[in-house]
Amino acid sequence: MSDATVLVAGAGNIGSHLAPLLARAGVRRLRIVDRDVIEAKNLTNQDFRRRDVGRPKAEVLAERVRELHPDVTVEAVVGDVVELPMGLFDVELIFGGLDSRRARQALVSEIGWPLGKPVVDGGVGEGLLGRVQVLVPGEANACLECGWGATDYQRLAEEYPCHAGETYTAPSTVSPAFSGAVVAGLMVAEGLKLLGRSEPQESREIAFDLNHRRFLPSRLRRAARCRFDHVTVREFVRLARPFSEATVVDLLETIQRHFGSVAVQIESRRGLFGGQGFRAERFVTPQRLRPHADESLRAAGLRPGDYLRVRGERTAFVVLNE
């Protein structure tokens, strides 16, 4: 564990309990990601103090872990999982305690699974209910969306705005702090098993009902008609030039060298060349980018540490250097 870098996405009812527990369990490199600031209403079910109201959750939680464990390296990242560069999540293990279906899809389906990184995802609900899912990338393993039906995707569309500039705010959970702490404890236990490889590397779930004292562990099975492609990307290609100097032509030349003359599609999680009334394009071809060959990668809408997924006869990530 001392050699592993672990990321916690979400610093609310679950994450505020989870990060200190990970440090106490022996994790020595920790990255905490959250977009929100602490509000007075959070004090009833999240592990923060009144004097911290108004400050970013990730920064406050990182300070607390450093205070309790000076030997732990903690990085705070204030931002939305959906918007952050993919390189931030290239760690040994990811923990998710997020408050929306769309954010969970981004963390697991768009980031963790393609990178081949296991995700330990936790959630709480009304009535003292909770669950922990361990999602391990693998050809025969269940993914997050294997358990989704039509209703889940309909709700996802409600959480995923269609127009630029819109943001989604999930409803606040009414689950008490001790439910979040139970989920956090179970997540740490399952995460340590993954880091220590003490159990089969397969997807599984623990659901519980504290009101009726019930815990139900189960193995998650891959759905035959899952909408997710279950692809884990094995090839990583880096640009020859640093991000600050690179242009679109450098990106195109890198793709040409790696894929040759075969047709490819380039996928950007946030999209390219948006703004001024036009939506950013998540899927483009090299032909679409050539008129912008002399523009910087930043002008295209990219950021240092971004990964671009390129699909042809095979799939690779093009890594945009810092």
pLDDT score for 273: 86
User: What is the mean pLDDT for each group of 10 consecutive residues in the chain (322 residues)?
Assistant: 89 97 95 97 95 97 96 97 94 94 94 97 93 96 95 78 50 80 97 85 96 96 95 94 95 95 93 76 94 94 95 95 83
Angle at 29 between CA 27 and CA 33, to 5 degrees: 105
pLDDT score for 160: 56
Domains of the chain: 5-219 (3.40.50.720), 235-319 (3.10.290.20)
Total number of residues shown for the chain: 322
Long-range pairs of 280-286 with CB within 8 A, sequence gap ≥ 24: 280/164, 286/252, 286/255, 286/256
31 bridge partner residues:
7, 75
pLDDT score for 275: 67
Question: pTM value?
Answer: 0.92
CB-facing half-sphere around the CA of 288: CA atoms within 13 A? 15
Give the gyration radius of the chain's Cα atoms.
20
CB-facing half-sphere around the CA of 18: CA atoms within 13 A? 36
CB-facing half-sphere around the CA of 210: CA atoms within 13 A? 17
Contact 218, 131 (CB under 8 A): no
Which residues lie below 8 Å from residue 292, measured CB to CB, with a gap of 6+?
A: 248, 273, 299, 300
Token pair listed for 36? 């929100």
The separation between CA 264 and the C-alpha centre of its own chain, rounded to angstroms, equals 26
12-47 per-position pLDDT tens digit: 999 999 999 999 999 999 999 999 999 999 999 999
pLDDT score for 163: 42
Token pair listed for 171? 């409803």
pLDDT score for 161: 53
Long-range pairs of 257-260 with CB within 8 A, sequence gap ≥ 24: 258/310, 258/316, 258/318, 259/310, 259/312, 259/313, 259/316
pLDDT score for 321: 87
pLDDT score for 156: 84
pLDDT score for 162: 46
pLDDT score for 197: 77
pLDDT score for 303: 93
Max Cα-Cα span within the chain: 63
The CA distance from 147 to 120, in Å, is: 15
Closest C-alpha among 223, 131, 136, 239 to residue 186 = 131
pLDDT score for 280: 86
> Hey, what amino acid is at 113?
W
The separation between CA 213 and the C-alpha centre of its own chain, rounded to angstroms, equals 31
The CA distance from 136 to 294, in Å, is: 41
pLDDT score for 173: 59
pLDDT score for 164: 44
85 bridge partner residues:
none
* H/E stretch holding 253: helix 248-259
